[in-house]
Chains A and B, each alone.
Chain A
Amino acid sequence: MRYPYLQKILALIVLFVCLSSSGADEVIQQPYDFPPQLPLSATAESVYAMARPKLLQIRTLLDVAGRQTTLGSGFLVSADGFAVTNYHVVSQYVLEPKTYRLEYATPDGLHGPLKLMAIDVANDLAVVQLDKHEQPVFEFNKRALRGTLSKGERVYSMGNPLDLGFTIVEGNYNGLVEKSYNERIHFSGAINAGMSGGPAVTADGRVVGINVAKQIGSELVSFLVPAHFAAALVERAKTSPQLSLINVRGEIGRQLMKWQEGFYKAVADQGFRLSPYGPYKAPESNAAWVNCWAETNVDQSSRPRATVNVTNCRTDTWVFVANDLNTGPINLSHSYVKGVDLNRFQFAAFLSQRYQLPWVGTPSGNRHTGQRCQEDFISIPPSKDRPPLHAVWCARAYREFEGLYDVSMLIVTQDRNDEALVSQLGMRGVSYPSAVALAKRFLGSIRWAK
């Protein structure tokens, strides 16, 4: 009963699709000419033929071994050798530039070193620069930049899946992902590991998005980063000095800080509504991108001695920072527990099973400080419409990124012997003021239903 909803959450976890295994590949050159009668796939043929010289495989190599540790894809966007890929494809190099180096490989088998020019961690993008400058380049689709593509439009995604060779995949544009704070295109096509950072283009060969992730436990549900983020990052890379890897953690920290400011402001601006839980009312976000699921134990085969009604809400705002550090989402849950035939001690014991801090990710000694907690009994003297509470606040700091924390908060009502509301609030990669502001509002709006 304790984590029945875990499976659902697992099924919804998004897999970032860079490839971290090796395999031989052989690029087969396909001659390009239009046959007189165009079959349906001819568009894909022509798109690939146009795109082929502009495609790249982006390799992260372990410097001492000279062997690949991560593979992704990329594409050329400007005459001075700029190419776009995902941040998560180059993240190992970004974070440990002394251990890794970057290399590109073209469909023709050419390869050479890459310079890292700019990163956009929140949108999982990076701009790299090649040493040679004579290839043709992709253009961004104007309608995609304006956001006026129509649902169902055919989109071709390209990249090097599983290191099997460059591939073109046909699929459909399905608009932006609904119920998502981060802007992502829903692409109904097969994106696989290794295609990360590759372009998705319309039939005219213009880029609408960048392959970034697929939903595991589902079929052909894939995600693209909208082209306008890439266009903006390329612009930034052209006008700003090259990203300094000496203080790259400072830059990542600034980007994460800026992203969470916008995100927590949006959460606050959307506001909360109070939903009833037995004799209590508890806050739920109005934001459409906060996904809520309900859970109960009343249908259990052995009759439970206390009923539990849970609402679990979360935002799927994952931000990839490193292979062992994903941050971003908020989870928020309320469990209304009512004893059936438990005495007050037994009810407290039952309640304790639900009285657990929300999970904010595996602690890592390299990435986080130890967790510290504050707990107290709380009441509001001025207004008498709230039950007394017991609240726990636990936080740990990010060691690499100043000013960012993981915070988990746990609240239980303390007014009755046979019913209670347990509320959890988990925040990852949040600034202290943002976390305190949301927690204050969260805690302050738990009420008695009148």
Chain B
Amino acid sequence: MGEVIWVEVLSRHRDVAARYRCSGTEIHIGRGYDNDVVIDDPYIAPRHIRIARNSEGVLVAADLGTANGLFADKSHDRKNRIVINGDAPIRIGRTYLRIRDEKYAVAPERIVKLPGRRSWLSVLYLALPLLVMQALSAWLGETVEQRLSHYIFPVLGIALITLGWTTLWAILSRVFSGHANFEANLVIALKGMLIFVIGDVLVDYAAFSLSWGAMLGYVYIGAWLLLATICFFHVREIGPSRLPLKGSIVAALAIAAISTQSLVQSENHVGTYHQNYVRRLKPPAFRLAPEKTDDAFFSEVEQLRAKLDRSRSEDSDADGTADVSDADD
């Protein structure tokens, strides 16, 4: 029995459109019916290429003197002969071909992630604390008459946001990889939400405990980084290929978002800027920062004056020039 050569016709997206099993040591590909593989591409010659093994036993495609020639994948350099690599396609006419022999080693089978009970259980383990935390924070922030709707709306809200976000990624995943992977995306979204909610509470309490309200002005950096991380995991779920590239795109977007917001904040700094202070009080027991004496507090206050005067002299240049021009009168 002779050896087997597989000829695969690829779509423009490099999916296999047709696959031909050829036996024999030498095969011909072209538009004519005397070929082993017949391709209905008008830009292909009746007898276009021959595929055979060279002296080292490697498959080689050879141009049979055609007008349109033989190319490697998207290259524009016409070749007379191309050594076949099972992964890189060749191009004749407007058709992409991939040629493999029976020794071509395929990747090991991927493990199927079954949407079984365990997967849904992990969703439950994440969703439950998230909803409980949401309800708890609604209860702890309750200052008016208690109503059930005060708890239902925040819980429902975060549930809907999480489901909406997951659906978006499931659709993207379906479009690009063929599988929605809803459970996996839901787990990522829930983990992200949980980290966000816990982080928000921690920052809130830390700002009060350490009496460091200015910190609240920089929370957006953490939020953007968390969002970028979540997006990265979703992207990874769609397909594990080219991760460094995808990661750097996500990181670049996050950096762009952070710098834009920082720019807006620093521009506001000039005029209507209002430095943050701790607006959300906590029970006195949460205080961690050491208590200062009045004098220590007011000496810090005095130091603030120097900062104010500096920012006054920094941007009073405009007034200075106005005064100078008045002198022309």
* A-to-B contact residues, CB < 8 Å: 97-98, 245-247, 249, 302-303, 305-306, 342-353, 355-357, 363-366, 368-381, 388, 390-400, 402, 405, 410, 412, 414-417, 432, 436, 439-440, 443-444
B contact residues, total (Cβ < 8 Å): 56
Given contacts A249-B319, A376-B297, A391-B297, contact A370 B325 (CB under 8 A): no
Give chain A residues whose Cβ lies under 8 Å from the Cβ of B211: 375-377, 390
Indicate which residue in B269, B274, B312 contacts A397 across the interface (CB closer than 8 Å). B312
Indicate which residue in B277, B284, B311 contacts A373 across the interface (CB closer than 8 Å). B277
Q: How distant is the Cα of A376 from the Cα of B211 in the complex, in angstroms?
A: 6
Question: B293 to A378, Cβ gap below 8 A?
Answer: yes
Question: B315 to A369, Cβ gap below 8 A?
Answer: yes
Q: How distant is the Cα of A415 from the Cα of B291 in the complex, in angstroms?
A: 13
Give chain A residues whose Cβ lies under 8 Å from the Cβ of B298: 436, 439-440
25 A-B pairs, CB-CB below 8 angstroms?
A98-B325, A346-B142, A349-B143, A350-B143, A366-B271, A370-B270, A370-B311, A372-B307, A373-B213, A373-B277, A373-B304, A375-B213, A376-B289, A376-B300, A378-B293, A379-B291, A380-B293, A381-B293, A392-B277, A392-B278, A399-B315, A399-B316, A400-B316, A417-B284, A443-B294
Question: B304 to A377, Cβ gap below 8 A?
Answer: no
Give chain A residues whose Cβ lies under 8 Å from the Cβ of B144: 302, 305
Query: Is B111 close to A, CB under 8 A?
Result: no
Query: Is B329 close to A, CB under 8 A?
Result: yes
* B-to-A contact residues, CB < 8 Å: 139-145, 211, 213-214, 268-285, 287, 289-294, 296-298, 300-302, 304-305, 307-309, 311-312, 315-316, 319, 323, 325-327, 329
Question: A249 to B278, Cβ gap below 8 A?
Answer: no
Q: How distant is the Cα of A356 from the Cα of B213 in the complex, in angstroms?
A: 13
Question: A98 to B329, Cβ gap below 8 A?
Answer: yes
Of listed A356, A366, A377, residue having the most chain B CB within 10 A: A377
Question: B304 to A395, Cβ gap below 8 A?
Answer: yes
Measured CB to CB, the closest approach of chain A to B269, in angstroms, equals 5
Q: How distant is the Cα of A440 from the Cα of B323 in the complex, in angstroms?
A: 37
Question: A349 to B278, Cβ gap below 8 A?
Answer: no
Q: How distant is the Cα of A342 from the Cα of B214 in the complex, in angstroms?
A: 29
Q: How distant is the Cα of A391 from the Cα of B293 in the complex, in angstroms?
A: 11
Given contacts A246-B327, A372-B307, A436-B301, contact A349 B213 (CB under 8 A): no
Question: A414 to B289, Cβ gap below 8 A?
Answer: no
Give chain B residues whose Cβ lies under 8 Å from the Cβ of A396: 308
Give chain B residues whose Cβ lies under 8 Å from the Cβ of A302: 144-145
Further 8 A-B residue pairs, CB within 8 A, beyond A356-B279, A402-B312, A414-B284: A346-B139, A349-B142, A355-B279, A372-B307, A392-B278, A398-B312, A400-B319, A440-B294
Indicate which residue in B269, B283, B297, B329 contacts A417 across the interface (CB closer than 8 Å). B283
Q: How distant is the Cα of A246 from the Cα of B328 in the complex, in angstroms?
A: 9
Give chain A residues whose Cβ lies under 8 Å from the Cβ of B307: 372
Give chain B residues whose Cβ lies under 8 Å from the Cβ of A391: 297
Q: How distant is the Cα of A393 from the Cα of B263 in the complex, in angstroms?
A: 26
Of listed A303, A372, A417, residue having the most chain B CB within 10 A: A372
Indicate which residue in B276, B283, B296, B308 contacts A395 across the interface (CB closer than 8 Å). B308
